[in-house]
Amino acid sequence: MASGQQQALEADPISKFKVLVPRLKESLATLMKVAGEVFYKNSQFDECVKHGDNSSGQLFDKTLEEFYAICDQIELNLRLALECVSQTTDSARNTPVPVQSNPQKADMQQQQQQQQQQQQQQQQPDATLSYPQYLNTVRTQIACAKEIHDSLLECAKKISEKPLSAT
């Protein structure tokens, strides 16, 4: 059970963000340290105290690239979290009845019980949908969306087939 929770945390974009923030802080500290060293070496080179070597510049580039990579990962996880929130909001708006999170297949007795529960739930507004009921709701929504799509296509075809009147 602990491994299931661990996998859920790894898949959660907010958890990934929380893990990446300390790495970002470390990367930023390293970047500033390397930048300071490069700045110091360049100032010595400008004063003709030392001859230049390019290894510190390469280290700076590598450190900067690592910093940007972590920033990109954080950005992706935050965008994913925002998309999840948006999807949850849309789901709550379009399916106002909560769905039970038990998608296991039911045998005939369970299906009969679910049908009875469905009839009872239709009478009770605070009830939750079982997973098969939720699937039926989704199928209905998909069929409705297809019907709207087909109607729009038909309308577009009719509009494009009409000859333009010369004025």
**Dihedral angle computed from the Cα positions of residues 45, 48, 51 and 56, in that order, rounded to the nearest 10 degrees:** -10
- What is the CA angle 36-67-76, rounded to 5? 160
Q: Please count the CA atoms within 13 angstroms of the CA of 164 that sit on its side-chain side.
A: 3
| Cβ proximity of 100 and 130 under 8 Å | yes
Whole-number pLDDT of residue 51? 65
Please tell me the distance from the alpha carbon of residue 115 to that of residue 101, in angstroms, as a whole number. Answer: 17
Please tell me the distance from the alpha carbon of residue 28 to that of residue 138, in angstroms, as a whole number. Answer: 46
Q: Give pLDDT tens digits for 10-67.
A: 678 999 999 999 999 999 999 999 999 999 888 888 777 666 566 778 999 999 999 9
Whole-number pLDDT of residue 106? 44
Please tell me the distance from the alpha carbon of residue 60 to that of residue 69, in angstroms, as a whole number. Answer: 14
Q: What's the whole-number average pLDDT of the chain?
A: 80
First to last CA, the chain: 75
Who wins on pLDDT, 61 or 138? 61
Provide the token pair at 29: 């500290």
Whole-number pLDDT of residue 134? 81
Residue 145 has pLDDT above 80, yes or no: yes
Give the closest residue to 16 by CA, choosing from 65, 86, 84, 62: 84
Please tell me the distance from the alpha carbon of residue 15 to that of residue 10, in angstroms, as a whole number. Answer: 7
Total length of the chain = 167
Please tell me the distance from the alpha carbon of residue 11 to that of residue 15, in angstroms, as a whole number. Answer: 8
